[in-house]
Structure 1
Amino acid sequence: MGKPIVLWLDGCFDGFHYAHANAFRQARELYQGPVHMLACVHSDAEIIKNKGPPLFDEQERYAVVAGCRWVDDVVEGAPYVTELDNLDKYHADFLVHGDDPVVDATGRDIYAPLKAQGRYMEFKRTEGISTTSLIQRVLDHPQWQRESDYLGVLLREFTKSIPGQFPVVDFGSLGDLTSPPFRSLTGRKVYVAGSWDCFGAGHIEFMRRVKEVVLSDSKLVVGVWSDEVVEKMTGELPLLTITERALAVTQCKYTDAVLYGVAINVPASRLGLDIVVNGDAHRHESASVQVIEVPVPSLATLAKLRDKIHVHLDAFKERQRRKQQS
């Protein structure tokens, strides 16, 4: 295997969502050989200067990007406009970007110098979501978010890009469980469930803690609550659709399998699970199922995002207005 090609992909990565993750996935697949992916994340100061207030601060954004399975290293405080010198400093061979045009105030293509030097590669931009649309969702909530067939296609594309076996199972489609759905996974199967809504650095840190406790020979099966369960547990519907939340946990490097649309309690032993994290209801289910406790860090939630936006409402509205006019 030869020396990996180094790719530079920069952005705000604010409110990290499936389009961000898909950008890294697609960028890696532009080249057939080994790739070293640099996620180059703008600072809060650069975002405020160029766009308006970020939804998540820079430390949260650095952490959530580092948790993406298609990222190898994070460049913190990357410049808003990338020059050839930036690529050379980090030994990057190419800047990669979506196929949407990026121009300055004069209409000039800001990547023209990189293109002229043959240091630019392009992938198809993922439609359907953006940080701007997420902010609007928070402002409009609880307006119902419609699932699209495209999200299911994208979920399958995510799983195809993951080496080895990566089961993604719809809990509602399981039959009598005579054949456990995760039998292809080796090692102990550890189950952790949640809404995974407003997926952020806290969720990734929680998964890391679980992996640390159960050690490397275990596989993490992540359960994604149905919308009904999220509403019951939090008092309101989630910001993200169930497939969007499944995409969020699939792109995370700590996840080994996904079970989505789950109830609060699942038949852990019949699913072939060995350990359940923070699952009090499972303590007396079966002697074969161990229950462990792992501290949950502070998580991003819809309520917290709503509060943050409303504290700086004028600034966020101005950001939305500028984006819509661009």
Structure 2
Amino acid sequence: MSTQPSRVKVWCDGCYDLVHFGHANSLRQAKLLGDHLVVGVHSDADITRHKGPPVYTFDERCKLISAIRWVDQVVEGSPYVTSLKTLDQYECDFCCHGDDITLTADGSDTYKEIKLEGRYREVQRTPGISTTGLVARILGKASRSPWTGSSFQLSTRKIVEFSGGEARKVGDKVVYVCGGFDLFHVGHVQFLEKVAELGDYVIVGLYSDEVVRGYKGADYPVMRMHERLLGVLACKYVSEVVIDAPFHVTEDLVNNFLIDVVVSGSLGTGEEGVEDPFKYPKQVGIFLQVNSESDVTTETIIERIRRNKFQYEERNERKEQKEIDLINDKHS
């Protein structure tokens, strides 16, 4: 008599600060190694002790990780140093992490114990993106990180890998939203979660860098369109993305994608003198406005970093120097 194969549970953990497509790509790769992905999120206190103050709050980081389409379970406040006890507590077969090294404040490898026991797997770190690098961009500093310093090239394969969810079905109620989705944050997630409740298939129209600059100014967006694209695609509430979407939701756009409802956040563009991008859907009665019930915006995230500029500069310098030293040790 045949028996069902046992389910393989994979453990990942991290700070997941300024959650970006590099984090999502690591979790995507980890999920491919098993059937059920458990993700531990470290506390603000632990991150501050070992790395420096996080930008996103603990609740924000947990909410963002839970919205990534490959994550099955989130463990809040997981220990900074990963132990066999933690893996066994959550019945995980092994732990997975990127091919860089994470260290404690005293320079110890946070995965040393599970590596010695053979319960550690590695996936490829995504080049060209890191929390350290994003903070450096916002502060107008050049990143010295050996990982962030390399470039990331978007390919059709990567878009396919990040695209998920069920295919659109006949009769699905299609909901359309649009925006820049820069520095993907908890306000975006809460908005998209509410939007997903309004229909069966959510299409996000993603503005180009030029369009975002047109209504927000020369300092925006912080993240380039291909970076923002992967961040949006990784969200489990999103079914499809229109790349380089028009600023104005036109009749052609609505007809081409068979859109039933067009939704905007309560903040809108917030720019005086800008022609209403939702003029057409309002005229035909398919427009709705949704309040994310979050006061977090891209601007408030940038303000957090600039307000604590010296703390984040010091954190970045320590982190980048550790990475440079590790690279040098490997090649010595």
TM-score of the superposition, structure 2-length normalised? 0.81
Cα shift at 1:125 = 1.4
- 1:196 aligns to 2:181 (yes or no): yes
- 1:306 aligns to 2:296 (yes or no): no
Contact 1:138 1:302 in 2 (8 A): no
Cα distance between partner residues in 2 of 1:221 and 1:87: 37
- 1:281 aligns to 2:287 (yes or no): no
Task: Name the counterpart of 1:127.
Answer: 127
Cα distance between partner residues in 2 of 1:51 and 1:109: 13
Task: Name the counterpart of 1:222.
Answer: 204
- Give the unaligned 5+ runs of structure 1: 166-182
- 1:79 aligns to 2:79 (yes or no): yes
Task: Name the counterpart of 1:15.
Answer: 18
Task: Name the counterpart of 1:155.
Answer: 159
Q: SS at 2:139's partner residue?
A: helix
Q: SS at 1:209's partner residue?
A: helix
Contact 1:146 1:241 in 2 (8 A): no
TM-score of the superposition, structure 1-length normalised? 0.83
After superposition, the Cα gap between the structure-2 partners of 1:276 and 1:311, relative to the gap in structure 1 and judged at 3 Å, is: same
Matched-pair identity in % = 38
Q: SS at 1:208's partner residue?
A: helix
Cα shift at 1:59 = 0.7
Cα shift at 1:314 = 1.7
Q: Residue by residue, what CA displacement relative to the aligned partner does 1:122-179 show, whole Å, maximum 9, x if unpaired? A: 11111111000000010118xxx998533654223212xx2543xxxxxxxxxxxxxx
Cα distance between partner residues in 2 of 1:283 and 1:44: 43
Cα shift at 1:97 = 1.0
Task: Name the counterpart of 1:5.
Answer: 8
Cα shift at 1:4 = 2.2
CA RMSD of aligned residues (A): 2.7
Q: Counterpart amino acid of 2:75? A: V
Task: Name the counterpart of 2:217.
Answer: 235
Cα shift at 1:58 = 0.6
After superposition, the Cα gap between the structure-2 partners of 1:284 and 1:91, relative to the gap in structure 1 and judged at 3 Å, is: closer
Number of residue pairs matched by the alignment: 298
Q: Counterpart amino acid of 2:183? A: C
Cα distance between partner residues in 1 of 2:55 and 2:68: 19
- What pairs with 1:178-197 in structure 2 (closer than 5 Å)? 187-197=172-182
- 1:316 aligns to 2:312 (yes or no): yes
- What pairs with 1:244-263 in structure 2 (closer than 5 Å)? 244-263=227-246
After superposition, the Cα gap between the structure-2 partners of 1:105 and 1:13, relative to the gap in structure 1 and judged at 3 Å, is: closer
Task: Name the counterpart of 1:271.
Answer: 257
Cα shift at 1:322 = 0.4
Contact 2:185 2:297 in 1 (8 A): no
Q: Residue by residue, what CA displacement relative to the aligned partner does 1:2-51 show, whole Å, maximum 9, x if unpaired? A: 442111101000000011000110001124xxx11111111100010001
- 1:24 aligns to 2:7 (yes or no): no
